[in-house]
Amino acid sequence: GENVEQHPSTLSVQEGDSAVIKCTYSDSASNYFPWYKQELGKGPQLIIDIRSNVGEKKDQRIAVTLNKTAKHFSLHITETQPEDSAVYFCAASTMLGQFYFGTGTSLTVIP
Partner 1 sequence: DGGITQSPKYLFRKEGQNVTLSCEQNLNHDAMYWYRQDPGQGLRLIYYSQIVNDFQKGDIAEGYSVSREKKESFPLTVTSAQKNPTAFYLCASSSPGQNYGYTFGSGTRLTVV
Number of H helices and E strands in the chain, helices first, is 0, 11
Which of 3, 7, 8, 9 is in the footprint of partner 1 by CB under 8 A? 9
Cβ atoms within 10 Å of 29's Cβ, excluding its own: 12
Which of 25, 84, 89, 107 is in the footprint of partner 1 by CB under 8 A? 89
Which of 80, 102, 107, 109 is in the footprint of partner 1 by CB under 8 A? 102
Given the rule CB under 8 A, which of 20-28, 36-44, 58-66, 76-84 is the region that contacts partner 1? 36-44
Given the rule CB under 8 A, which of 22-30, 59-67, 76-84, 95-103 is the region that contacts partner 1? 95-103
Sheet holding 5-7, edge to edge: 5-7, 19-24, 72-77, 62-67, 56-59
SS3 48: strand
Distances (CA, A) of 101 to 17, 27, 34, 109: 26, 13, 9, 23
Question: Cα–chain-centroid distance for residue 44?
Answer: 12
42 lies in the site for partner 1, by CB under 8 A: yes
44 lies in the site for partner 1, by CB under 8 A: yes
22 lies in the site for partner 1, by CB under 8 A: no
Residues found near partner 1 in the complex (CB under 8 A): 6, 9, 32, 34, 36, 41-46, 49, 51, 89, 91, 93, 95-99, 101-104
